[in-house]
Amino acid sequence: MTLAPGTYTIDPSHTEVGFTVRHAGISKVRGQFTEFAGDITVAESFADSAVNVTIQSGSVDTRDENRDNHLRSADFWDSENKPTWTFSSTGVEGSGEEFTVHGDLTINGVTKPVALAVEYNGAATDPFGNKRVGFSATTEVSRKEFGLTWNAALETGGVLVGDKIRIAMEISAIAG
């Protein structure tokens, strides 16, 4: 691994934070957040590295204004009263190009442990002299575990919104 120790700040203009959830039992809806911030600290001993991210839940974009407004409402995220989600790492396992970052994810004031499967995509210096690193990270959570229980029954059986939420991030971060 050629990941140099140091602190890297997530570049929101070159990073995507998104999610996927099953809809009506037959398709998947994708969304992303447009406002977030975070830092990645790579320690000399890689296992001591740390990640901290804050997401503004009201910045959700699923390409459907009515759905986005419903997600922001008290039925789901209550963005007005609980505007931020956070992830704080508690440990890093493995090394090399693929590893796991364990941490605490807080959504709507409920904190649960999660494990992010991370792929290190490399490092480069951009045309402006910034030293960048790239990562892909994924996890899957149960929305019910975070108190997100709103749903609607379907005439054909099943429910409108699936329980499992896949969270995926494509991260570009700049050395600070």
For strands 36-42 and 60-61, give the pairing: unpaired
CA distances from 160 to 14, 27, 46, 107 (A): 32, 10, 42, 21
pLDDT at position 155: 58
Nearest to 139 by CA among 106, 171, 169, 163: 169
- In whole angstroms, what is the distance from residue 136 CA to residue 158 CA? 32
Q: What pLDDT is recorded for position 159?
A: 47
> Which residues contact residue 45 at a Cβ distance below 8 angstroms, ignoring those fewer than 6 apart?
none
> According to the model, what pLDDT value does residue 152 have?
52
**How does pLDDT run along the chain (176 residues), one tens digit per residue?**
468 899 999 999 999 999 988 775 566 889 999 999 999 999 999 989 999 999 999 999 999 998 899 889 888 889 999 999 999 999 999 987 899 999 999 988 899 999 999 999 999 998 999 999 999 999 998 878 877 665 555 455 554 566 788 899 999 999 98
Q: In the chain, what are the domain boundaries?
A: 6-175
Q: Which CATH class is domain 6-175?
A: mainly beta
